[in-house]
Amino acid sequence: MVQAWITVKLRRIDTKTAGVTHGNRQKLLARLSRYSPDEITIKLQREQDNAADKNAVQVIAAVKGKGAAVMGYLNRQLAAAIAPLMDKGKAVASSFRAITGGADYCLSYGLNISIAV
């Protein structure tokens, strides 16, 4: 039901990336925040062998000419709707929206993205 609704009704989904405080992702986001938004691309990639979530979808950020890294994942609920579409070969586009937080030593960085189905 949710999958059909997303496919038919929504042109764009704005969401926060989950798992951005895991490992070295805060350092990666701090580095990413130094680049212009037009230099940053976002790619979604299925991670079917993820033991914690069979619908896991990685959020990968890349900077032109600098490389790419996993910044986190789609949240479980959204991944449960998007992963089957990706598995069926449906085109799912993603784009960078913003890096949030990080303005003070006590604030974690966040990564906001858009998804178009």
Element (H, E) at 112: strand 110-116
Please state, as a whole number, how many other Cβ atoms lie within 10 Å of the Cβ of residue 92.
Answer: 17
Residue pair 45/57 in contact (Cβ under 8 Å)? The answer is yes
Residue whose C-alpha is closest to residue 17's, from 106, 115, 116: 115
> How confident is the model at residue 107, as a pLDDT?
87
Q: What is the pLDDT of residue 103?
A: 76
Residue count of the chain, please give it.
117
Show the low-confidence residues of the chain (pLDDT under 70). 1-10
pLDDT for position 29: 98
Residue 8 is predicted with a pLDDT of 54
Phi, psi for 55 (deg, rounded to 5)? -100, 15
Provide the H-helix boundaries in the chain. 2-9, 25-32, 76-87
- Domain 2-116 classification at class level: alpha beta
Residue identified by tokens 């784009």 is 95
Any idea which residue has 């038919």 for tokens?
8
Confidence (pLDDT) at 3: 58
Confidence at residue 101, expressed as pLDDT on a 0 to 100 scale: 93
- How far apart, in Å, are the Cα atoms of 48 and each of 15, 69, 72, 80, 87? 21, 18, 15, 12, 9
Structure tokens at 59: 């959020």
* Domain residue limits, the chain: 2-116
